[in-house]
Amino acid sequence: MLIREVILENFMSYEYARIPLRSGVNLICGPNGSGKSAALLGISVALGQSYTERSKKLSDLIRWGKDQSRVTIVLDNSVQKGHRPVRKISKDQIFLSRVLRRDGKYWFELENRSASKGEVVRLLSNFGVDPDNLLIVMHQSTAEQFVTLTPQDKLKVMEAAVGLEPYRWNVLEAQRKLSRIVSQEESVERLLESAEQTLNYWREQYDRYQQKKQLILKRRFLERELAWAEISRKEEEAFELGKSISLKEAEIEKITGEIEACEEELESLEGRKNSSNAEWRKLFEDRLRLEGEKARKEFSVFSIDRSVQELGGWLKLHQEKVTEVINEIRHLQNSLISRFGGADAGGMMERIDKSCENLQNGFAQVIGLKIEESKETLEASKNEINELTFQISDVQGKMERMSAELEALNKGFLDNRVTSALLEYQKRGLAEDLEDMNRKLGALTLDVGGSVKKAEEMGPRIVSVRGADHVLDEIRMTDGRIAALADVSEDIESMYESYSNLYLELKEKARIVAENRERTLKEVKTRMEAWEKVILSLLEHVNLEYQRILLETGATGFVVLSSREDIEAAGIEICVGFRGAKTVPLDAYTHSGGERSTATMAFLLALQQHVQSPFRAVDEYDIHMDPKNREVIANLLTSSLRGSNAQYLIITPNQMFFKGRETHIITVQNIEGSSVIREVV
């Protein structure tokens, strides 16, 4: 059993109603328009079924004049076979509601909390209920709709109802897998073909790359040979430079000896020159002394001579003065005589004359003596001057000879200095050349050392028998051949290896895909056989039961699986013939409404023992049946549920009689626009 009770609030013609349901057959009956179908429609809405025959919008199902409607079903979650259907809810009853609002908002409530459609679907899956299956819940027009289904859809509906969908899913999954594998195989084959073409191209490029690689290796060898050839040339150059340095050093050593000899000669000349200079300075000093003495003597002679001249002039002047004085005295004498007269004046005059004469004579004598004395001194000085002139002449001769000797010494000293300077200049030039050569040798040695290290990185030493120019020529030729392969990238090797690996991977993948295809073909075949086996087994039982039910209604028929080699094309044909007519496939054009209802219910009843859902419902299945078939189907329906816990809801406007069967009967009446439920005890 699935549903214990259905509670309708403001739903269609129901203001409020509680419809209890039991295990087995539940019959809802009542006149047309009383609200029978509304009960099943309410259950469908609560279960989330997408089908509603009465309305395109759920809001149209709300009772007139109301803004909100609620349908609640009480699900049976009691322990069965040791566990509850919904294990996470530890209650015997589960309340599932659907709320409809006039503004178009609808939602589910599970245990008084909002729930999603997915939660409801998962909840019902725990009970094994699919409310959208036509064979589980059949509304008024569903039976007719089932008849119009294609054989393929009938088969799918039947599989879903009896729980055989996994077999179809397995086959379809295997077929999809096979389709993917086949598509993958085709894709791999295309890729393999493309990869093979690409690989051939890259193989050609790889051959060119190998050629280029060999040329590059050759060039590296030539670079190595060139490096060692350059080192040999530099070493030879260093050796020659070392020889030149040795020659320069010998030449510098020779010049150094010559410079030392010049220095010794210069020292000797310097000594002699210093001695001569000292002697010349001594002579010069003597000459200066003699010249000084001579100058002094000459000045003395000049002074004496001038003194003599001055004395002579002074004497003459004095004599003139004395004469003038005497004349004045005599004039005075005459004046005295004329004034005083007498003998005393004559005597005085005689004494004055005498005194003047004595004075004049004495002064002349003194001056004469002085002049004589000066003349003697002058003569002596002249003699001394002559002696000094002779001495000066002798010293000057010596000085001239000494000057000539000094000039010769200076000339020799200068020549030696010039020679020494020239030698020093030559030595400096040679030293600079030697320093430059040593610097070059050092740089060359360092260069050789660095070149040797670089060359050793290239490889061991190569003794090249040819010059660097020949090696360079061959390098240029090799470069030309490499340039011709300039379009060959270094990535070609990795590309070739990549495509080689890709090609091998694709070949391996093609092999694996082929193996997978074979395995999947076997899997499809195995699953198809399993599906076919269970379907044929089901149809065998259903067909026997279907024929037995039809036999009680006075009809014949069978159910057959068509196009079973292709699961997508496979279907079931429900064939029936009434009152001795030919057995033909059931359809809406060949059979009447009652025949279609009888055949459909016969098939549905034949399937009952295999249906998985604990709840099934059918609305007005008997509307077109004659009384006999209605009674037969009703009794077969109750007998088909014997021994099971299934719950069946039947809705009919007709009176039904169930022989010896316990049937839960519910009546529905519409009283003053509101449907009312009554249980028949």
Residue 129, H or E segment: none
pLDDT, residue 68, reads 92
As a dihedral over the C-alpha atoms of residue 136, residue 138, residue 142, residue 143, rounded to 10 degrees, the angle is 90
- The residue among 134, 29, 41 whose CA lies nearest residue 668 is 29
| The token pair that represents 82 in the structure block | 């040791």
Cα 242-244-248 angle, rounded to 5 deg: 115
SS3 584: strand
Range of the domain at 402: 238-458
Q: What angle do CA 29, 32, 35 make, to 5 degrees?
A: 70
pLDDT digits (tens, 9 = 90+) for 151-188: 888 888 888 888 888 888 888 888 888 888 888 888 88
Strands 24-29 and 663-671, how do they pair?
parallel
Q: What is the pLDDT of residue 619?
A: 78
User: Left if phi > 0, otherwise alpha if psi is -120 to 50, otherwise beta: which for 28?
Assistant: beta
Residue-level pLDDT at 108:
92
3-state secondary structure of 135: coil
Q: Say what the pLDDT of residue 141 is.
A: 67
Q: Is residue 208 part of a domain?
A: no
- Rounded Cα distance between 136 and 85, Å, is 19
Domain-embedded: residue 633: no
Q: What does the block give as tokens for 265?
A: 């000669």
Backbone phi, then psi, for 79, in 5-degree steps? -65, 130
Amino acid 7: pLDDT: 93
Is residue 328 one of the residues assigned to a domain?
yes
| Overall pTM surpassing 0.75 (yes/no) | no
| Contact in structure between 205 and 492 (CB atoms under 8 Å) | yes
Would 142 be classed as within a structural domain?
no
In a domain, 248, yes or no: yes
Contact 406, 277 (CB under 8 A): yes
Q: Give every residue of the chain whose pLDDT is below 50, as ranges.
A: 53
Q: Check: CB of residue 674 under 8 Å from CB of residue 66.
A: no
Residue 420 domain-assigned?
yes
- From residue 677, give the alpha-carbon distance in Å to each of 54, 181, 211, 655, 667: 21, 60, 99, 17, 6
> How many domains are contained in the chain?
1
Domain holding 361: CATH number? Answer: 1.10.287
In a domain, 449, yes or no: yes
Q: Give all strands of the β-sheet with 106-110 in edge-to-edge order.
A: 14-20, 3-11, 68-76, 93-101, 106-110, 113-115
Query: Would you say residue 300 lies in a domain?
Result: yes
